[in-house]
Structure 1
Amino acid sequence: MKSIYNILSFFLFVFLVSCGGSDPGPSTPTINNPGKSVLIAPASGRTCEEGTNTTTTQSTVSFSWNSASDTDTYDLKITNLNTQEVTTQTGITTTMKDVTLTRGLPYSWTITSKNKGTTTTVSDTWKFYLAGNGVTNYAPFPASAVSPLPGVVVTPTNGNVTLSWETSDVEGSALTYTLYFDTIDGKQSPLDTNKNLTTKSKAVAVNANTVYYWRVITSDGNNISTSVVYTFKTN
């Protein structure tokens, strides 16, 4: 009888173990994507951001923005629009940051929201001029490419590609554009038909399987600004 009891106990133990399942352990918490920051200052299109002068050539600018949901830290990216030099401040845990910049130049800035997840969220881009000594008229913001985007491969339409760009003038002056377009460096003498344009786009004739370079000089009648050189390739 004792032997039968032991056998039954053994099979009952095996049954309970086999049906018990494994411990799933703690569940992984869901990480929401960080929210999009709303920029506050310097204001977009501001013509004369004073900052706090630290030297005859530099000023400290206070950047501020609204807090974003599900965000642990912020990255501040500032771009010198004349040289495309980028200044980045990372791991910011507040919603403001002071940065020292060169005076008399145009800048753009963005805020990137981050958390422990792999997704980041970038704010809108705002532009401003940091005041210089005795500046009474500011050059337009340098043009930025809208289409084609830099480095893309483009399929021409009837042998043409339409170039378009974006720019603005903080003083609201009427703007004209000169388009430089070539297969060398984007700095060769422009065609007469590409001078004194009044719209922010121009259709250009292209060949297949060719790399093209282009840039735009923007004028408000008193000052000019020059974009960086953009490239694209045709199919």
Structure 2
Amino acid sequence: MIKKIKLLPVILFVFVLITSCGSDDDGGGTAAVAPTPEPNTAPTAVGALTYPSSDLLCIDSTIEFTWSAATDVDGDTINYRLTIALDRNQTNIVEQITTTATSRTVTLQNGTAYYWNVVAFDSEDEATASQTFAFYTEGDGVSNHAPFAASLNAPALDAVFSAGTTTLDWSGSDVDASDTLTYDLYFGDTTDPAQVQLDVAASTFDVTTVAATTYYWRIDTKDNNGVKSIGQVWSFSTN
């Protein structure tokens, strides 16, 4: 007589084994993939530095600094950092204030040249700086004011150019509109560039450069009364 084999328990055992091996902690489904967050965008620069305007002579040393609002495409809250310094590159800072407003009143010393700008930044510290304006606070009995430090036009700071002839371009200004300005030029391949030209009347100067070199330059501004303002050191490179 042929024996009948009972297969049902064996089939059930194999089925349970297969399903248990094929399962995982999340029930065998595909793990959800988190969406990639949208990159944060820095706010725009402030629309304008309203007051004090560029190269202004301020009669009162208590000054309300005002600027127009920046915008942020992400809708983030915008904060502003007002910086007032004694030099154009703002290393010698006399006031630095953070606010959500677009104005701030500050009392400064009389008879002093100042440089100010505003940085707009969001909650993730993405930031955009405004341009820098110079102004002067009137001193008692002052008949002549020092010129402002020169501002950079070209080459852009840390720009890279082909070797050859490069035109250095800057701007000078003075609250004494009748003063005549001249410039002393320092240029070279060290961070303390050598003096190469005195009493430059124009505000451009051509220099010759070689490849694969970083150059540094500085402009000191003088008025016709012999008062001088020392400029900051700028740099650019050749490829």
Larger gyration radius, structure 1 or structure 2 = 2
1:115-154 to 2 correspondences below 5 Å? 115-147=122-154
Question: 2:117 — aligned with what?
Answer: 110
Contact 1:42 1:49 in 2 (8 A): no
Give the one of 203, 206, 226 matched to 2:206: 203
Contact 2:150 2:172 in 1 (8 A): yes
RMSD: 4.2
Q: Distance in 2 between matches of 1:155 and 1:98?
A: 46
Q: Distance in 2 between matches of 1:21 and 1:187?
A: 68
AA aligned opposite 2:182? Y
1:3-152 to 2 correspondences below 5 Å? 7=15, 11=19, 17-18=27-28, 20-24=29-33, 28=37, 31-38=40-47, 39-52=49-62, 61-70=63-72, 71-81=77-87, 85-147=92-154
Contact 2:149 2:230 in 1 (8 A): yes
Contact 2:172 2:181 in 1 (8 A): no
**Cα displacement string for residues 15-46 of structure 1 (whole angstroms, at most 9, x for unaligned residues):** 9943x432445774653321221322222221
Q: How many residues align?
A: 219
- Go from structure 1 to structure 2 and tell me whether the alpha carbon gap of 1:95 and 1:132 turns closer, same or farther (over 3 Å shift): same
Question: 2:231 — aligned with what?
Answer: 228
Question: 1:57 — aligned with what?
Answer: none
Q: How far does residue 51 in structure 1 lie from its aligned partner after superposition?
A: 2.9
Q: Distance in 2 between matches of 1:131 and 1:49?
A: 5
TM-score of the pair, normalised by structure 2: 0.66
Gaps of at least 5 residues in structure 2 are: 1-7
AA aligned opposite 1:78? I
Which secondary structure does the structure 2 equivalent of 1:103 belong to? coil
Gaps of at least 5 residues in structure 1 are: 53-60
AA aligned opposite 1:175? T
